[in-house]
Amino acid sequence: MSTTAIVGDRPRPTIVLVGHGMVGQRFLEALAERGLTATHRVVVLCEEPRPAYDRVQLTSYFSGKTPEDLSMTDMAFIEKEGIELYVGDPAETIDRESRKVTARSGLVVDYDVLVLATGSYPFVPPVPNKDAEGCFVYRTIEDLLAIEEYAKSKATTGAVVGGGLLGLEAAGALKGLGLNAHIVEFAPRLMPVQVDEGGGAALLRTIADMGLSVHTGVGTQEIVTDDSGAVTGMKLSDGSELATDMVVFSAGVRPRDQLARDCGLTVGERGGITVDEQCRTVSDPHVFAIGECALASDGRVYGLVAPGYEQAETVAATIAADESEQLSFTGADMSTKLKLLGVDVASFGDAHGTAEDCLDVVYADSRSGTYKKLVIGRDGELLGGILVGDADAYGTLRALTGSVPPVSPEQLVLPAGSGGGAQLGPSALPDEAVICSCHNVSKCTIRGAVTDHQCTTVPEVKKCTKAGTGCGSCVKVLGQLVNAELEASGVEVDKGLCGCFSQTREELYEIVLALRINKYQDLLDRYGREGARGGDGCEICKPAVGSIIASLAPTIGASGYVLDGDQAALQDSNDHFLANLQKNGSYSIVPRIPGGEITPEKLIVIGEVARDFGLYTKITGGQRIDMFGARVEQLPLIWARLVDAGFESGHAYGKALRTVKSCVGQTWCRYGVQDSVRMAIDLELRYRGLRSPHKLKSAVSGCQRECAEAQSKDFGVIATANGWNLYVAGNGGATPRHADLLAQDLSDAELIRLIDRFLMFYIRTADRLERTSTWLERIPGGLDHVRDVVVDDSLGICEELESLMAAHVANYRDEWAETINDPEKLSRFVSFVNAPDTPDPVVGFVPERDQIKPDLPLLTIGTRPLEGSAQR
């Protein structure tokens, strides 16, 4: 039968695409951009039961994204372009002589051009029992659904075979599902392709600190099963055995080239459909191959999405036969930037230093898990690099690869604030620098989108150039370039907080303070953008303004209690119930334990409360005790007992001071030179409840041995023989930053005065959700400017800053103590508004290690279903 479509009196040639992944979808877009969907019939045979989705972000399913969120297919685009898309109906045979493709359903399609985008398949080592019950691969959404269901019902421990990109993501997914997770990697380090020994060591330390067990330099010899054939363990090559209920294979991928083999197309010795520089198969001029199934003309199979996109563009241009657009694919940039288990990992250029006579410049901080290596040529040319733990400079460094940077390599790897670090802005990049490697978009093209196409926002530039629409690692640099180009053109850049306010957060703070505005609606009606006034605001500005009002409450005549009156409507989900919402819909209770010091009587109370309400308990890194698993209606009952015992809110749910960690200091330690516990308690009680743009953490160490880790905190204090040294703007977490020394050898009074000033200056000038570390690096003048303002009072505002803090201290009230004594406020603590006595049926638990863990319903990770009664 003939499948050639007829338009008027002229038949349309047919393009058949086999496979509809990310690269296949990009190919369809490239056809449409060149008008080929109007002149050709386009048929897509897709094996998976769903159209193209973002496989790069696959693991985000376990943090709350749905399969629909991951979709990359706009069905309106498919319909508008007249594309015939068949899902769940893969091609099974190709008859090259008659140019026909037969699908599993029996559908036969004649083709003029055939494009194979069949991708790759997971490699499973040929070990005994590799197909046993409890063995999975990690490649598709369906794989994830199967893993989730098995983990929920039949597993407490999981092992991942493979410590590469997907292997680490799979391990993170197992940990997120509540399993004890192991990683088994045959190579001597994790991510052996992307990072070197130093980078692998930094990554290993960080991942081990997260509670994952890593086994490197060993292979899997056998999967151990029980009598029913289910997984019970793994035998490793070093003779050891690992107990596990589940095995996830993520040991690499292989090109899916069987369809090509079956129809006689040439494939490489190690797999991959052999193609030329136009991605045309060397066996048949009517057949092309793109993506992970293709063996490129340089002899490589590319496993990243960016080269696949470039191949898709090349084939579309070749089909169009547009002489003005002669594209060829001869190789691609293999640079990558990912966040694995919350850790930034990036490599670019000649990351392993294979060039002759090259040099390495390395910065490593094992305490923070940071590793940076630049590979430099003898002439100073930047050849490549590896970044682990701190990859903020990735976009700029990758774009500078192949050129001599304008500053020394040492300045590029040293952390900001260290005295030698340099921050290069977009002006340092040459016009030909590739900013978006996924779509091969240069700085010049981005500038042209602003100057020639009148794009004024990042979304507009994305739409115009496609930059930033791939892996997303270039978006930060993209934003800097857009703003720099607009400012250079004399265009005023909109730096407003959101679509409701044209003012920045700092400007709104000054308005609220100067005019004593204590209601969000008043601020919106008087200073909101045209069209926003009289409205309800948005999810960006409401909590931001709510935080400003709370931090200035006693000065502007507002209630310091965040759930009073109009303030309640401004709060996010955590502040709304004065507790952190957990993944199964339950809440956590975190009482304040100043300085980590607690009496036996109070410890007993916490134990009794946790026992009586069946809560999970955990000692935190901030010297507190977390209790997890409370239903919303239980929160007031629990806090009534805690408040009665003398506890108060620890503000674990708020953008406020969390903890002031301490060591035991001179009271107990033979090295201590000051009473660090007393100082930590004084500081925590002074700044408790202080609302700020982001959470605040602090610590006090009793000597220079730094056992409280004060230099990784927003403000940290270290004892000296002459008093106290004050460090500011440190940060742990995913992007660590070493704190800077603001002042030294301070008395108690001097220390508190400077902290008062520093915190109020930060609250006054920081952006929404901006940590002190980011704030210090952003503001002009950095640490020197902060020292001028806070220590030397260069702006003459220190008296006001101290007054604002004094007002906060004098007016502090514990939020939970107020809540449990107010029947009206207690009325909000129900799961269902129309059935207040009904507990939420979604909140369930299962036992683990003599405690509880969430029992998560299938497909509700990170979400709460809304069926049944009206929700709060």
**Among candidate residues 190, 169, 143, the one with its CA nearest the CA of residue 60:** 169
Q: Pull the structure tokens for residue 552.
A: 């200035």
Cβ atoms within 10 A of the Cβ of 549, count? Answer: 25
The fold of 427-491 is Arc Repressor Mutant, subunit A (1.10.10)
pTM for this prediction: 0.56
Residue 7 pLDDT exceeds 50? no
pLDDT tens digits for 699-708? 999 998 899 9
Cα 788 from Cα 591, distance rounded (Å): 37
- Tell me: domain 333-424, CATH 3.30.390.30, correct? yes
* Amino acid identity at 111: Y
Q: What is the predicted pLDDT for the residue at 427?
A: 67
Question: In Å, how far are 157, 214, 703, 844, 860 from 174, measured between CA atoms?
Answer: 8, 14, 40, 19, 15
Q: What is the predicted pLDDT for the residue at 698?
A: 96
Pick from 61-65, 93-97, 472-476, 503-507 the range whose average pLDDT is largest. 93-97
The greatest distance separating any two alpha carbons of the chain, rounded to the nearest whole angstrom, comes to 96
Which residues is 246 bridged to in the sheet?
A: 158
Q: What is the predicted pLDDT for the residue at 304?
A: 82
DSSP reduced 3-state for 228: coil
Q: What is the predicted pLDDT for the residue at 868?
A: 29
pLDDT-wise least confident of 155-164, 235-244, 776-785: 776-785
Helix axis angle for 748-765 and 676-687, nearest 10°, is 40
pLDDT-wise least confident of 251-265, 384-398, 769-783, 852-866: 852-866
Q: What is the predicted pLDDT for the residue at 1?
A: 31
Mean pLDDT, residues 532-546 taken together: 87
The fold of 587-811 is Sulfite Reductase Hemoprotein; domain 1 (3.30.413)
Mean pLDDT, residues 731-754 taken together: 89
3-state SS, 30-43, equals HHHHCCHHHHCEEE
Mean pLDDT, residues 831-840 taken together: 66
Mean pLDDT, residues 279-286 taken together: 95
User: Residue 61 gets which letter from DSSP?
Assistant: G
Mean pLDDT, residues 486-515 taken together: 85
Mean pLDDT, residues 712-740 taken together: 90
Cα 821 from Cα 819, distance rounded (Å): 5
Equal CATH topology for 5-121+255-320 and 135-251: yes
Cα 177 from Cα 192, distance rounded (Å): 26
pLDDT tens digits for 173-219? 888 888 889 999 998 988 887 888 888 888 888 888 777 899 999 99
- pLDDT band for position 835 (cuts 50, 70, 90): low
Mean pLDDT, residues 818-833 taken together: 82
Q: What is the predicted pLDDT for the residue at 861?
A: 28
Q: What is the predicted pLDDT for the residue at 400?
A: 83
pLDDT tens digits for 143-171? 999 999 999 889 999 999 998 878 888 88
Q: What is the predicted pLDDT for the residue at 416?
A: 54
Mean pLDDT, residues 55-79 taken together: 84
Architecture of the domain delimited by 135-251: 3-Layer(bba) Sandwich (3.50)
Q: What is the predicted pLDDT for the residue at 325?
A: 62
Mean pLDDT, residues 308-321 taken together: 92
Residue 67 pLDDT exceeds 80? yes
Q: What is the predicted pLDDT for the residue at 255?
A: 94
Mean pLDDT, residues 46-52 taken together: 93
Cα 427 from Cα 416, distance rounded (Å): 19
- What are the sequence ranges of the domains in the chain? 5-121+255-320, 135-251, 333-424, 427-491, 505-571, 587-811
Quote the distance between the C-alpha of residue 331 and its chain's center: 29
Mean pLDDT, residues 106-119 taken together: 96
Residue 34 pLDDT exceeds 70? yes
If one compares 478 and 232, the residue with the highest pLDDT of the two is 232
Burial of 75 (0-12, 13-18, 19+ CB in 10 A): exposed
- pLDDT band for position 3 (cuts 50, 70, 90): very low
Instruction: Please tell me the class of the 5-121+255-320 domain.
Output: alpha beta
If one compares 682 and 823, the residue with the highest pLDDT of the two is 682
Q: Pull the structure tokens for residue 306.
A: 């960016």
- pLDDT band for position 833 (cuts 50, 70, 90): low
Q: What is the predicted pLDDT for the residue at 704?
A: 87
Q: What is the predicted pLDDT for the residue at 456?
A: 78
- pLDDT band for position 811 (cuts 50, 70, 90): very high
If one compares 869 and 522, the residue with the highest pLDDT of the two is 522
Mean pLDDT, residues 104-118 taken together: 96
Mean pLDDT, residues 794-806 taken together: 94
Which residues is 723 bridged to in the sheet?
A: 720
Evaluate the CA torsion angle 448, 291, 307, 171 in order and state its sign.
positive
Cα 364 from Cα 801, distance rounded (Å): 38
Q: What is the predicted pLDDT for the residue at 423?
A: 55
Mean pLDDT, the chain, as a whole number? 86
Mean pLDDT, residues 798-804 taken together: 95
pLDDT tens digits for 546-581? 999 999 999 998 887 888 877 877 887 788 788 888
First vs last C-alpha separation in the chain: 59
In contact, 664 and 632? CB cutoff 8 Å: no
Backbone angles phi, psi at 768, to 5 degrees: -60, 130
Mean pLDDT, residues 86-114 taken together: 95
pLDDT-wise least confident of 351-360, 762-771, 797-806: 351-360
